[in-house]
Every structure is written in structure tokens, then in C-alpha cells.
Amino acid sequence: MAEKIIDYKKPYYKGFFGQHPTEKLIIENVRQGPVLDVGCGLGRLLFVLKDKFEVEGFDPSKYAIRIAKKKGINVKVSTIKTFNPRRKYKTILMTGVIAHIYNLKKDFKKVISWLDDDGEIILTIPNASSPFIKRHETHIYFPKFFEFRKFIKENNLKIKKCVGAGRLKYLPYLAQHTFYILKKKKD
């Protein structure tokens, strides 16, 4: 299946990002320095961060980017395949993105290459091990908890933080979504 530029009109999370359940975790863990939001959607997270951090983002949705630009955020229509960064980032955000990537191995390696040597990737991913989550029709990669941890290791990353989100947040291997902070392993 080929990657495509999409135009979604109805975002999954309709509230202001400041009310989103993982907002506090994300904001507390963003590092000083350039921040990139991969799949930034309507720019809700970047809008919350823009006064404290140097932020930019991209999304395949022309509709979402049009709305994000109206908020004064540095964003553009792009995909992982077509995005061409001019620098390295201290924090790369991938909230709710990984499950929708067509060529995860190749694209994730590309995202890692944009990361500063001491930078971090903050991401959320649906957890197929959870008894409370259902696979969405747009999920391409829908891993179980330990399957994704193996994927992280194979990409020479280490887990700095792992927390569940949803009904079983204190049991990340059963939580609906899992929140990760990842760092490059030092050689």
C-alpha cells in the first residue's frame, strides 16, 4: 500500500490539546532545543509548546496544516518519506502516528536520523495486548506490548520512560495506549 497525502476533516481528538490525557507527560518531557512533531495534525500540541520551545511539524493532511498555520505554527504538508529537515532535533514527537505508517522499519530509521545525539523521541502507540482497545481501520502497525519493545531494541534505542494510558495505566503492558520516551543507545 502506498503512502498518500490525505485530507481528513474530522480529527480523532476533538478537544483542546491542553485537556488531552497525555499532555502533561509530553510537556514535562520535551527537551530544550528544536522540537519536531511528526504527524502534527491540527497543531494542538505545537500550539501548547510554541511559547516555550522552537517548534515545527508536518502532516500529510492539507486540511490540518491549513488550520495549524492559522495558529501561527511553523508546519507544512509532508510525509516522513518527503520531509527534508535542515537540522537535528532535541525532541521528536510521534503521538498517535506509528500505527499509521506504511513502511515502519524504513520510515522509523529515517526519523531516528533526524534526532540529535542526545535527543529523545516521545511517542504513543496503541497496545494490541490491552483487553480494552480495538484495532482501528486505519491501523497498519498494531503491535503487542513486547513486540514493540523488541522493535525499539532492533532500532538501537533504549527506553527512558514507559507509562500506560487508559484504564490500566499502571500496567503498561495491558494499557490501551503506551507512552514512551526513547533515546539512542550510546556505543
Of 146, 153, 135, nearest to 178 (Cα)? Answer: 146
CATH architecture observed for domain 21-184: 3-Layer(aba) Sandwich (3.40)
Any idea what the Cα angle at residue 92 is, between residues 107 and 70, rounded to 5°?
105
pLDDT at 26: 82
pLDDT under 50: residue ranges of the chain: 1-19
pLDDT at 170: 60
pLDDT at 3: 44
In whole angstroms, how far apart are CA 132 and each of 88, 164, 171? 37, 12, 13
Spatial contact of 96 and 59, defined as CB atoms under 8 Å apart: no
137-172 pLDDT, tens digit each: 766 777 777 888 899 999 999 999 888 776 655 666
Q: Point out which residues pair with 181 in neighbouring strands.
A: 122, 161
pLDDT at 168: 57
pLDDT at 135: 67
pLDDT at 138: 67
pLDDT at 1: 41
pLDDT at 126: 81
Q: Count the neighbouring beta carbons within 10 Å of the beta carbon of residue 62.
A: 12
pTM of the model: 0.84
CA dist 10 and 120 (Å) reads 30
Amino acid (1-letter code) at residue 104: L
